[in-house]
Amino acid sequence: MHVWIMSTYHVKNIWAAAGVCCVLILSGVLSGCFPTEKRNTADLETEILSGSQELAGEKPVTRLREIPETVSEESEEVSIQARVDIGNREAVLEPFTAVKKPFQFDDIVKILPEEETFTLNTENPDPLLDIYQGSSGGSLTIQDGRIYYISGRSSNKSYNVLIGSPMQLDDRQIVNEAFVSDSIPGLDKQQVIQQAGRWMETIGIQGLGEPQVAALDYATLQEEYEKIAGDLPKGGETPFEPEDEGYYLLFRSEEDGIPYLAQDYFLQDKVYCFGSVVEMIVTKNGLQYFMASGMYDRQEESEPAEELYDFRKILSRIRTKYKDVMLEEPVVIDRIELIYAPDVISDSPQIYELSPCWAVYARSSSQSPGCDLFFYYSAITGEELGIE
């Protein structure tokens, strides 16, 4: 995917649109061969009990601490060789309502490099966005639930391309094939992480987990840039310089140690939504790139879930998902993660309900380089959720 930092909201929308197109293309390809109608609960339970010799008759697994760290199961349709990621096995799981978090321009500019000032674009036709142009060529876009910033210095750099190629985000974890340095000389990693935390407090973002961090050293930036330079628009990009090296930080929003859904997604028959992540690039010159997406303000809580839907039945549903599908080889499931997933319960005003669910990360074949199939089950009801 060739996406580079050249403007503000439009570039991120290009990136998001590319992801949407991939989802739509994949959905179109799969819709002809994958069953789409939902089977009723009785049919599902019959399949579970008849098709699960390992699980049938055993004690239900309904508490986080009872769930294994890895699962291994094989069928003709699905190969499950997965780790089960649960951020906090003592977490109290409780659905809650939320709204998109509003952000204030005056708070955001406090964390940006002082040498750049911003002017509001009064010709912007979208009332839901505030778009600002920076005096040094940077840009800032603010909307409820989302901030996007790129500095003037970095607006003609290729950070996004490099992050999206040798350092992919697979299931929102950094799969780093290029940037192997642990630190940047003269820029202490722990101090950068602490500074990032203070910046988040300044603009009112709370509930972030510990970040994943990659050191973007100059030598590798330069090497990777050379690999892609021929594919970039002529005159639009400039090579990296030593002062461009720094750290890339990736945060996920969390609730009692359980992360929110981090992928951009469609809610079936509803709206396109951004995953809940914060990304930063920090150099010796300060914050160069910042994207906070899918940020919420928590509203009302529901009653805590005393027990979860039987995890054994979740595995059975995963195993039988492709039962009626003709496949050349089994779908490969590498990872199952407990997350909070949003659903829109009101459009005007827009209100979300976030509830715990199991995110299943799968590859359509053993040759797939990364996860290209994602599906989700409520951790409380066992229902497959309409997230695409």
260-301 per-position pLDDT tens digit? 998 888 876 667 888 899 999 999 999 999 999 999 999 988
| Integer Cα distance of 347 and 334 in angstroms | 35
Given a cut of 90, whether residue 229 has pLDDT beyond it is no
8 A C-beta contact, residue 273 and residue 267: yes
Strand ranges for 77-172 from DSSP E: 78-85, 96-100, 118-120, 130-134, 139-143, 146-150, 167-170
44-53, 165-174, 193-202, 245-254: least confidently modelled range: 44-53
Greatest Cα-to-Cα distance within the chain, rounded to the nearest angstrom: 68
Taken in order 346, 349, 353, 359, is the CA torsion positive or negative?
Answer: positive
Q: What one-character-per-residue DSSP string does 287-307 give?
A: EEEEEEES-EEEEEE----SS
pTM over 0.85: no
8 A C-beta contact, residue 315 and residue 71: yes
8 A C-beta contact, residue 361 and residue 333: yes
Given a cut of 70, whether residue 18 has pLDDT beyond it is no
Given a cut of 70, whether residue 170 has pLDDT beyond it is no
* The pLDDT value given to residue 224: 82
Average pLDDT rounded to a whole number, residues 187-211: 96
7-11, 111-115, 242-246, 375-379: least confidently modelled range: 7-11
* The pLDDT value given to residue 32: 30
Average pLDDT rounded to a whole number, residues 171-191: 80
Q: How far is CA 208 from CA 95, 135, 250, 258, 276, in A?
A: 18, 31, 10, 10, 10
Given a cut of 60, whether residue 14 has pLDDT beyond it is no
Structure tokens at 176: 């780093």
8 A C-beta contact, residue 278 and residue 208: yes
| Integer Cα distance of 279 and 294 in angstroms | 12
* The pLDDT value given to residue 39: 40
8 A C-beta contact, residue 247 and residue 289: no
42-94 per-position pLDDT tens digit? 444 444 333 333 444 478 999 999 999 999 988 888 999 999 999 999 999 99
**Helices (H), ranges, 244-334:** 311-320
Q: Is 236 exposed, middle or buried (0-12, 13-18, 19+ CB in 10 A)?
A: exposed
Question: Could you tell me the pLDDT band of residue 175, with boundaries at 50, 70 and 90?
Answer: low
8 A C-beta contact, residue 101 and residue 342: no
150-159 per-position pLDDT tens digit? 999 888 887 8
As a residue count, the chain comes to 388
Q: DSSP 3-state assignment of 18?
A: helix
Given a cut of 70, whether residue 169 has pLDDT beyond it is no
346-386 per-position pLDDT tens digit? 888 889 999 999 999 988 887 877 778 888 999 999 999 88
Q: Which residues contact 72 (CB under 8 A, 6 or more apart)?
A: 80, 81, 82
| Integer Cα distance of 74 and 93 in angstroms | 30
Average pLDDT rounded to a whole number, residues 236-241: 80
8 A C-beta contact, residue 338 and residue 73: no
Q: What is the mean pLDDT of the chain?
A: 81
| Integer Cα distance of 156 and 118 in angstroms | 18
